[in-house]
Structure 1
Amino acid sequence: MQHQHLNQFSNVVAIGGGHGLGRVLSALDFLGNRLTGIVATTDNGGSTGRLRAQQDCIAWGDLRNCLSQLAFRPSVGSQLFEYRFKGQTELSGHTLGNLMLLALDELCVRPLDAINLIRGMLKIEPQIIPMSEQPTHLVALGHDGEVVIGEVSVDEMTIPPVGLELEPLVRATTEASNAIKCADLILLGPGSFLTSIMPPLLVPEIANALAETKAQVIFIDNLIPESSPAGKWPIEDRMNWCHRAIGRNVINKVICHHEQVRLSSIINYFPLKHQQFPRLHDPVLLVDAISAVLRINTDITSIAS
């Protein structure tokens, strides 16, 4: 029964990055090829940052994370994909998945081809699409005119920025724009707001597609306030940032964590924490919450008609 209201959708799109998007995609993987993840590609930390600096490639880390969370487990393929090199060599700290994606990218015509080859190897049905196939950095503008470049530095800001942009400004992957145009349900978050959720919304073609959507749009909040500057903002402020980037108010519902269910016209609270891993959304509870707010919308639509 928990899948009933989600199975009515033919094209579900989830937008974000990091572990949060992977968690949502893995919770909804029963949708198969009706599910698409559009992934932020501005990360510049860790193994991904080193590869970007040396190879001028897109950020592979969040893409790898989403693929890994969707991979059938346990399998040799999924274990290899997440293997991280140890020791004191040049490979130390790199994940094999990042290196595989980079190598396949150099062999293929485009990064999306490399991702699709990995999807085939790991038997992943949902689509995984980078927000852009061109390298770009996240740039934050401070109150005093300060310019902060790179995701890692943006997350370390002590005072929230007044604006964000991409440098250089890149075009969206065509498949990402088309997925949003065809979507009947769109999910934003959870994840680091400034560095996972906002970057795709800064790509003009993605913002325009969202501005024109007739899909239901649900924002999924983090379980606990993040340590970045956005962690100090109420949910209404974060919604406003999304809407300014998109150019129109599109978010219909917000799902937040609370130990007891509390429903309202926009912001709805549900128990979402995993019992064993309290910093993670429980996939079953997350699906239940999404289904519940969709059921509310359906009931309201039925009454109105």
Structure 2
Amino acid sequence: MWFILHLELLRGREVKVPKYKKVSRMATWLLPGLQIKRWFFLTFLGTFCLALGGAIVLDLHPINQSIEMVRTVAQKSPSSLTGSIVVFLGFIFFLLGWKKANSSIMDAIDPGDRAHLLETLYRRRKLNRGPKIVAIGGGTGLSTILKGLKHITNNITAVVTVGDDGGSSGRLREEMGVLPPGDIRNCIAALADEEDLVTELFQYRFKSGNGLEGHSFGNLFLSALCAITGDMVTAVKESSKVLAIRGQVLPATLDDMRLVAELEDGRVIMGESHIPEAGGKIKRLRTEPANLQPLEDAVHAIETADIIILGPGSLYTSIIPNLLIDGITETISNSRAKKIYICNIMTQPGETDDFSAADHVRTILDHSRYKNIIDAVFVNDSLPKNLALKYKAVNSVPVKLDIENLKKLGVKVVIKRLIEKNKEGLVRHSPRRLARAVYHWYKNSHHYKSVSVFNKENSEEHQFI
């Protein structure tokens, strides 16, 4: 039974600890990987040594007396009977002690959390051994993949762009002088252990109220916490504790980043929110100030990563801004991690009109100035037959897959179904499918045989090109 539970956890499924028998509930503490049994045993061993040492100090000769008592009993009664009685007493004492210890622990836990205690503990222990993954980006794309990655590993670092100057984030940035909290908030919520009431509160957006309308509670909370703690990094860490997130969320820089786009028609557009609205083809993206300093924690996470993921998300306003920060791209280039770019499925009006998959990769490489920051590009293999009309209305079309041009750029191509099923014809990346695709490719690239994280529905092989 416990082997099956282990497989279910690796597949990313929810595991329910059996509740139908008292013995089963007690036996769940014996589940491999909880790292509890060893401490129970150590406690027992310590108690035994204390008792034995005390008896020796008092010159009671406990070992000799115990051997003499056993010899005397053995001589006066059949060995089979004596052995059976000792085994029976040992079994009774063990069960009684285990039951009382279990009850004592459960009494100290809130009744609403008891049913999920062992499930959560077991999952955390297993996920703590997962690969170290750094996901770099911003917007909804980054939070989407984080929702899937948290079912693969707890060792996640989200490096978030801080160039946003629109909406609630832009207002708080101008009025309070804080880093834009919107993308950071979305990543914290995406990594939250459970989608509970606190997470919903963090994402709540005020629909009315003078000065409140348009703001999200999480944005206000982060801004207030930033003012109290003195910096956004500490504010994010404290907020992460409240939501019990899996992994960590870090801004790419603490500097006041402003995006500047140079268009092919000669215009220069200032501000992230204005770039897609400009209606021209982007020639070059840069930042003001030009020399931004990366967050040291973000650099360290990249240095020690097993997997580095770029995207999905807006090419010019979510992904590339992180690569314009001094030290970020260089560290990615020097890293021995597997480096993945998850290509967008549809073109984005005002940013990537008529872009192919190779155009996306080429633009990243040109802005980064390093040619080895992408090992593989992940592309979606199919689209819904009833593609929503809203895409045609804004001239958003599927990103063309030009395999030969991608090969010329020196990257591997992984073709996989990455979208969610829906009846509305909307094109949305599936968090679970993205995470499974990344994990599967990473394991295959290491020629590493392990228990698969895929369920039967998604067990088909990737196409490697």
TM-score, scaled to structure 1: 0.90
Deviates more, 1:245-254 or 1:97-106: 245-254
- 1:89-144, CA deviations, whole angstroms, 9 ceiling, x for partnerless residues? 11111001000000000111321100011100000121100011122111101224
Q: Deviations over 1:182-237 (max 9, x none)?
A: 11210000001100011100101112211212211010012322223224222222
Q: What letter is aligned with 1:126?
A: G
Partner of 1:106: 227
Q: Identity over aligned residues, as a percent?
A: 31
Q: Which residue of 1 aligns with 2:141?
A: 20
Note if contact 2:329-2:370 (Cα within 8 Å) is conserved in structure 1.
no
Greater mean alpha carbon deviation, residues 217-226 or residues 124-133: 217-226
- Amino acid of the structure 2 residue aligned with 1:200: N
Give the C-alpha shift of residue 259 in structure 1: 2.8
Task: Give the match for residue 211 of structure 2.
Answer: 90
The residue aligned with 1:280 is 428
**Alpha carbons of structure 1 residues 225 and 142: separation in structure 2 relative to 1, 3 Å:** closer
| 1:54-85 Cα shifts (integer Å, max 9, x gaps) | 12221111001111122244422112111111
* Alignment partners' CA distance in 2, 1:245 and 1:209: 15
Inter-partner Cα distance in structure 1 for 2:362 and 2:307: 20
Q: For the residues of structure 2 that align with 1:106 and 1:254, how far apart are their CA atoms?
A: 40
- Whether the aligned pair in 1 keeps the contact of 2:178 and 2:232 (CA below 8 Å) is no
Is 1:200–2:322 an aligned residue pair?
A: yes
Check whether the contact 1:13–1:180 (CA below 8 A) recurs between aligned residues: yes
Which TM-score applies when normalising by structure 2? 0.60
Aligned ranges for residues 107-126 of structure 1 at < 5 Å? 107-126=228-247
For the residues of structure 1 that align with 2:431 and 2:263, how far apart are their CA atoms?
37
**Higher mean Cα deviation, 289-298 or 203-212?**
289-298
Query: 2:377: which partner in 1?
Result: 254
Q: Distance in 2 between matches of 1:28 and 1:253?
A: 18
Count of residues in Structure 1 that have an aligned counterpart in Structure 2: 297
SS of corresponding position for 1:162: strand
Q: Is the contact between residue 130 and residue 153 of structure 2 (CA under 8 Å) also seen in structure 1?
A: no
Query: 1:33, 1:127 within 8 Å by CA — same for their partners in 2?
Result: no
- Structure 2 residue aligned with 1:54: 175
Report SS of the residue matched to 2:275: helix
- Closer, same or farther in 2 for the Cα pair 1:144/1:227, shift >3 Å? closer
Q: Give runs of aligned pairs for residues 16-165 of structure 1, distance below 5 A.
A: 16-165=137-286
Q: Secondary structure at the match of 2:279?
A: coil
Q: Give the corresponding residue for 1:266.
A: 412
User: After TM superposition, what 4+ stretches of structure 1 lie above 6 angstroms from structure 2?
Assistant: 262-265
2:445 and 2:246 mapped to 1: Cα distance?
28
Q: Indicate conservation of the 8 Å contact 1:207/1:245, yes or no.
A: no
Q: Does structure 1 residue 175 correspond to structure 2 residue 175?
A: no
Q: Which shifted more, 120-129 or 233-242? A: 233-242
Aligned partner of residue 30 in structure 1, secondary structure? coil
Question: Residue 203 and residue 279 in structure 1: after superposition, are their counterparts in 2 closer, same or farther (change >3 A)?
Answer: same
**Secondary structure of the structure 1 residue equivalent to 2:225:** helix
Preserved contact between residue 146 and residue 431 of structure 2 (Cα < 8 Å)? no
1 or 2 for the larger relative contact order (CA 8 Å, sep ≥6)?
A: 1
Which structure shows the bigger proportion of residues in helix conformation? 2
Rounded to whole Å, the distance in 2 between the matches of 1:297 and 1:89 is: 55
* Alpha-carbon distance in 2 for matches of 1:87, 1:288: 40
Give the whole-Å Cα distance in 1 for the aligned partners of 2:129 and 2:307: 10
Alignment partners' CA distance in 1, 2:11 and 2:367:
33
CA distance in 2 between counterparts of 1:60 and 1:71 reads 16
Segments of 5+ residues of structure 1 without an aligned counterpart are 301-305
Which of these two proteins has the greater Rg computed from alpha carbons?
2
